[in-house]
A = this chain, B = another copy of it.
């Protein structure tokens, strides 16, 4: 297993971060139940005992990983600064960003799947998730309102339904790429396949939202 080097000794914050990063990878690879505390410690180049020292236990560590994962994507979305773009460009930017983010951060998808297998038990306990989520939803709501006001978006589109659809068409393709490769007998991760998919998704959303696609 790939391990992160221990930069200096006795650096509490660094150890904590190494554990968190290692845990993200292991949880993404094997899920909450399948991940092994030993493996996380080994990958983090840390003593297993430190996991309990810093996080309390495996599930608390999983919650910390989840919170970080959600905070990261929500932060990146805010940085898109959609307000500066015309509605159509902003919408396309969001769809493409969502796709790219899932593609470059495959752990996010697996972590979310794992959390849903456990019925969002850990997310429910989180205090930070509702905060960042609200900001995200209102960002899209603002965009929709602006597009309607400017006469380019259809009115009456629910921002939650749209959010879910934008996520769904990228997320599903990637999370189910292994079974999908067999069912559709295709290499879904080939370069052209990925480009074809993101174009298809942008087209799907544009036709759904815009008055003149």
A190 contacts the other chain (CB 8 A):
no
A123 is contacted by which of B123, B167, B182, B203 (Cβ under 8 Å)? Answer: B182
Distance of A65 from chain B, by nearest CB (Å): 14
Total interface residues on A, using CB and 8 Å? 56
Number of copies: 4
A186 is contacted by which of B129, B160, B169, B207 (Cβ under 8 Å)? Answer: B160
A57 contacts the other chain (CB 8 A):
no
A158 contacts the other chain (CB 8 A):
yes
- Which residues in window 185-213 of A have CB below 8 A to B? 185-186, 196-197, 200-201, 203-204, 207-208, 213
Distance of A170 from chain B, by nearest CB (Å): 8
A120 contacts the other chain (CB 8 A):
yes
